[in-house]
Chain A
Amino acid sequence: MIEADNLIYDYARARALDGASLTAPAGEITALVGANGAGKTTLMRILAGLQRPTSGVARVDGIDVAANPRAVHRMVAFAADFIGLYDDLSAERHLVHAGRCAGLSWAAARSRAEQTAERLGIAPLLPRLAEEMSRGQRQRLAIAQALMKDPRLLILDEPASGLDPEARRVLSDLLLALKAEGATILVSSHILSELDDYSDRVAVMKAGRVTRVEALGAEPAAAMEIVTVVFDGPVKGLPQALRDALSSGGDEGAPLAEVLAAGDGAAQIRVSAKPSVKSAALAALVAAKLPVTEFAPRKRRLADAYFEPAASAPPARNNAS
């Protein structure tokens, strides 16, 4: 759905993208993460057709964004972190206007406005002026407005910014519902835990480039797993007790598991992904009379991908314009 190939974007005195490349498949939610100034917003705006790259190619659904921007504009909806609405216009008129701009008739625009408002839970707010809404309500109205043209790709730049926990939960549910309907979504945020709730993959940006792209979810079929062990209350001398319990029993006499961290009542161990080894490790802990209450593999989280160094750093590029 999204293909960005070696994008370079120069502002007046600084380079924002320095050879950024990204692919994102259709029907998935891709999280775009990175520090401030990494180039996330610039990349998103190029993919939305709002900015033309200095060089490189960006395609959305096979269409070159620079060569045919209007075709891309019709299929992409972009919502920035600042929610731009017309304060003196009602929610209903916002949606009807968006529908009319997308080519719908008056009747069709009104009908779709009602359906979209129902979907986003803002139907009771239709008669209300935008200036009378809370930030969370304005956020949902902005997304509803974007959905009025039935976009193939939804690009959200820090949608959870400034939202209270309840509103963020509503947003998460909304994005999952949209994904279930087949939408392709590219979303950026600094709230990694939020992105974990609904993202299928993560793209990490640094210094104007995409340094890592990987799928999220269960650990890949790797040899080792990280398991979280929770105990019934603090255990005195837990680190040593864990090492003693797991010191042998693995293949060829090796330790069953490696202790990564141990606190008052919990620990993380790295253990073989083989079920028999995991079972043996649990049995060893119980045999050592450690009060285990929970023994569960930890899902690979977005924060793991973000904070881990890139497998191989891309070669440095010449900064000359």
Chain B
Amino acid sequence: MASLSNPELIRNIWIECRPLRLAAALGVPALLLMISFTDNGDGAPVALFVTAHWIILAAVTFWGARKAADAVAGELRERTWDQQRLSGLGPGAMTIGKVFGAPSAVWALILFCVAVQIAVYPAIQPSNANFGPLALGYNITPAAIVAEIACAFLVFATAFFAGLLALNGQDRPRAFDATFFQLVGLGAGVALTIIVQAVAVEKAMPNMIEGRMVETLVMDWWGLSLEGSLALTLFAGVFGLWALYGGYHQMRRAFAMRTSALPWAAFLVWVAVFVAGWRPEVWAFSAAAAMAAACYAGALLEPHRLAEYRAWLRCWGTADLRALTAGPAWLYAWIATAALAPFALEILRETASDDDIRKLILSEIDISAAWLIASALMFLLRDMLICVWAGLRASDGRGLWAAVVMLVTLYVLLPALSTAVAGGTSGLQLLMPMGELSLFSAALQAAMAGGLILVEVTRPLRGPSEAAAA
């Protein structure tokens, strides 16, 4: 996949794997492993495996994710990005070259530690095969070794994708940009690990290597029973490939090539299938919740640029069919949420009474499940439009923190104030899907946010002379 004939990969290796740096990348882990080996006597094999595991985690967290996140931010900072875009290298080769090349020294470290783990694995006694809660309870298995590599791939690919998504079309990165993208990448890895841990249960599973039944974490997904490490490897690999494809898609945009929202739509389908598989009996509810989460991810992470919204609206104005596939990511996630809502409603009706729902949402007002879901959809739309407006107002399209502050105000501060002033929760139906007035209130707020967006998009531009004078 990452061929050594890839010029971008080779360039990154030239820069990242200089002799001194490579010596440190391998020398420090070697020293730590030697210490672990000499300190643990008969328990040395397990200690070496665990130490190598923690070295990999630390390297991925503090070094590799940063390198992947900085792959594009660094180019912008050093003013080499335009040359990259004009270099003649295709978007696929450029993407792979950066995802595997930017953290290439870390990959070398990972492979070194994995080699140690493979070497000591045969010497590990079955009775020592469990390691501690910080490693999330996974057993020492070959699948756990592969899971480390898969999770590293997921973290790096996601950090790279987040960086390219945010910086496409920008001249300069802002301070802490690379740190933010690093956290997004780490967040993907941590989230998946926690999800697998949360939905998995302890079960006795046959262990082919040890030839016996072993208590292990098992994740049930669409009726399949997947051992914990295997599940983590599988899903980290799949999500990592999606992140890599997302990076490729954004690279096409950076190269001024035509793109569409279809890959994002396909990713949403995958997310819905992934989430729904944990509890197929409530598949629509899980999928709708995942789509709602995707709405927020899209609205907060994707930049909202006036020029792009104007171009999109022009497409609609001229009945250009490209308008159907050129919209913002959050919109498709919202449409998917709305499409799943009736199915989620059906499941809600089957599993809970209206009274149960009212108690669940802490409402003092009678509200049907249908009204609840319709209100929730409208409040979700309102939130999306607020995020868009905050982004359009920001000079670089990323009004992330402004949007977060507004949402916190709407969902935390104002409700607290309302409850304190009103002495009850009846007023909250104006701010949340909790009562009969919720739908109308949400629609009104969404219309106001939409109006503000229209004002921004249709505001007259300064002419070139005024812009130059300014």
Which chain B residues border A82 with CB–CB below 8 Å?
79
Is residue A191 contacting chain B, with contact meaning CB distance below 8 A?
A: no
Residue of B nearest to A87 (CB): B78
B467 lies within 8 A of A321 (CB): no
Is B212's beta carbon under 8 Å from chain A? Answer: no
Query: Does residue B423 face the partner (Cβ distance < 8 Å to A)?
Result: no
For B446-470 the 0/1 string (1 means CB < 8 A from A) is 0000000000001111111111111
Interface string of B68-86 (1 = CB under 8 A from A): 0000000000111111011
User: Does chain A have a CB within 8 A of B15?
Assistant: yes
Stretch of B37-45, B125-133, B302-310 with 4 or more beta carbons under 8 angstroms from chain A: B302-310
Residues of A within 8 A of B351 (CB): none
Closest to A319 in B: B463
Q: Which residues of B contact A77 (CB under 8 A)?
A: 86
Q: Is the CB of B305 within 8 A of A12?
A: yes
List A contacts of B466 (CB < 8 A).
14
What's the minimum C-beta distance from A165 to chain B, rounded to whole angstroms?
25
Q: Is A103 an interface residue (CB 8 A)?
A: yes
Partner among A39, A52, A54, A321 whose Cβ is within 8 Å of the Cβ of B460: A321
Question: Contacts of A51 on B, CB cut-off 8 Å?
Answer: 256
- Chain B residues touching A, range: 35 or more
A215–B284 alpha-carbon span in the complex (Å):
70
Cβ of B7 < 8 Å from any Cβ of A? yes
- Which of B87, B255, B310, B458 gathers the greatest number of chain A CB atoms within 10 Å? B87
- B305 and A15 within 8 A (CB): no
Specify which chain B residues have a CB less than 8 angstroms from the CB of A207 in the assembled complex.
463-465, 468
A-chain residues with CB within 8 Å of residue B80 when the two chains form the complex: 84-86
Per the bound structure, the CA–CA distance linking A321 and B306 in Å amounts to 11
A11, A39, A49, A86: the one contacting B307 at CB < 8 Å is: A11
User: Which of B79, B85, B310, B458 is the one whose CB lies under 8 Å from A83?
Assistant: B79
CA distance A93 to B11 in the complex (A): 8
A89 to B307, Cβ gap below 8 A?
A: no
Stretch at the interface among A68-76, A248-256, A260-268, A271-279: A68-76
A88 within 8 A of B: yes
A12/B395 contact (C-beta < 8 A), A50-B82, A85-B80, A102-B88 known: yes
Task: Report B464 CB to chain A, min CB distance, Å.
Answer: 3
CA distance A51 to B464 in the complex (A): 17
Q: Is B198 an interface residue (CB 8 A)?
A: no
Known: A35-B468, A69-B257, A149-B88. A10 touches B461 (CB 8 A): yes
Determine if B464 and A208 form an interchain contact, defined as CB atoms under 8 angstroms apart: yes
Q: Are B256 and A69 in contact (CB under 8 A)?
A: yes
Task: Please tell me if B62 contacts chain A, counting CB pairs below 8 Å.
Answer: no
Q: Which of B14, B86, B307 has the most CB of A within 10 A?
A: B86
State the CA gap A50–B470 with chains docked (Å). Answer: 24
Residues 201-216 of chain B: 1 if any A CB is under 8 Å from the residue's CB, otherwise 0?
0000000000000000
If A49-B256, A97-B7 touch, whether A13 touches B86 (CB-CB below 8 Å) is no
Contact pick for B78, options A11, A49, A84, CB 8 Å: A84
Closest chain A residue to B7, Cβ basis: A100
Chain B contacts with A in 367-402, Cβ cutoff 8 A: 395, 397
Q: Are A15 and B464 in contact (CB under 8 A)?
A: yes
Among B10, B257, B465, residue most surrounded by chain A Cβ atoms (within 10 Å): B465
Q: Which residue of A lies closest to B461 (CB)?
A: A15
Contact partners of A13 in chain B: CB under 8 A: 306, 459, 461-462
Contact of A193 with B by CB under 8 A: no
In the assembled complex, B89 has its CB within 8 A of some CB on chain A: yes
- Sampled A-B contacts (27; CB under 8 Å): A13-B459, A14-B470, A15-B467, A37-B464, A37-B467, A37-B468, A37-B469, A38-B468, A49-B86, A69-B256, A70-B255, A70-B256, A73-B88, A73-B255, A77-B86, A78-B83, A84-B80, A86-B11, A89-B14, A89-B15, A93-B14, A98-B83, A149-B88, A208-B464, A319-B462, A319-B463, A320-B461
Residues of chain A touching chain B, judged by Cβ–Cβ distance below 8 Å, are: 10-18, 35-39, 48-52, 54, 66, 69-70, 73-74, 76-78, 80, 82-89, 93, 97-98, 100-103, 145-146, 149, 207-209, 319-321
Known pairs A16-B467, A48-B86, A97-B11; list 11 more (Cβ under 8 Å).
A13-B306, A14-B466, A17-B464, A49-B86, A50-B256, A76-B86, A84-B83, A88-B15, A88-B18, A93-B14, A103-B88
